[in-house]
């Protein structure tokens, strides 16, 4: 899998399963860990070596590449992981502050909505703060906007 476009298609298999900033951070940490193992290929497959060292997302991704025989050879594995890390670094991140603990389904729904509307891969850092009452607060590319009910109530109180 030397072709860069092929690599990106492959990366998306992994990226599609990521929707929160925490997941992304964990996978980035895992990639740093297995990057050191890539040059010490010993007995057994690469996936078997990393199985107990990384999270399930990256393990299953590597395993699927092995099964499909798309995982690069040991010599170019380091380069492949480096490209993967770079690809993950380029993913847009949005911080959303909510007044409640969102379910996983709702988190996915929100991320999908954002990706559909922004037209690119997005990961969300969900922060819970009951003080905002309802709605949300958005932080994106250094900008901040308060769409919370607390802000509305404060605004109403100040206008009266």
Partner 1 sequence: MITLLVLILVLNIILAFLVLIAILKIAKIPLVKKPESAKNTKLSKKLEKSLEAEIEKLIATAGRRIDAKLLEYFQALVDDAVKKGTELSSFIEKQQGAIVKETQFLAARDITKLREDLDRYRADKFAQIELQIKGMITNVAKQVLGKVIDVSTHEELVKAALERAKREKFMSHE
Residue 27 and residue 52 in contact, taking contact as beta carbons nearer than 8 Å: no
Write the CB contacts of 26 (distance below 8 Å, at least 6 apart in sequence): 55, 57
CB of 123 to partner 1, least distance (A): 14
Closest residue by Cα to residue 19 from 96, 111, 106, 100: 111
69 or 143: CB nearest partner 1: 143
Binding site for partner 1 (CB under 8 A): 94, 96, 98-100, 102-103, 106, 110, 113-114, 117-118, 130-131, 133-136, 138, 140-141, 143, 145, 147-150, 153-154, 157, 160
What's the token pair of residue 36?
Answer: 């050191």
Write the CB contacts of 82 (distance below 8 Å, at least 6 apart in sequence): 35
What's the token pair of residue 133?
Answer: 């009452």
CB of 141 to partner 1, least distance (A): 7
CB of 20 to partner 1, least distance (A): 15
CB of 118 to partner 1, least distance (A): 6
88 or 137: CB nearest partner 1: 137
């Amino acid at each position: 899998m030397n072709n860069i476009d092929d690599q990106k298609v492959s990366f998306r298999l992994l990226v599609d399963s990521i929707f929160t900033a925490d997941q992304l951070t964990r996978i980035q940490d895992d990639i740093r860990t297995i990057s050191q193992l890539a040059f010490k290929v010993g007995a057994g497959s690469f996936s078997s070596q990393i199985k107990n060292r990384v999270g399930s997302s990256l393990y299953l991704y590597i395993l699927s590449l092995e099964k499909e025989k798309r995982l690069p050879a040991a010599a170019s594995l380091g380069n492949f992981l480096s490209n993967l890390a770079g690809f993950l670094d380029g993913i847009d991140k949005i911080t959303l502050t909510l007044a409640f603990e969102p379910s996983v389904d709702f988190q996915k729904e929100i991320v999908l909505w954002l990706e559909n509307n922004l037209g690119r891969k997005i990961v969300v850092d969900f922060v819970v703060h009951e003080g905002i009452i309802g709605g949300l607060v958005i932080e994106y590319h250094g900008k901040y906007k308060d769409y919370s009910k607390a802000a509305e109530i404060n605004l109403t109180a100040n206008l009266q």
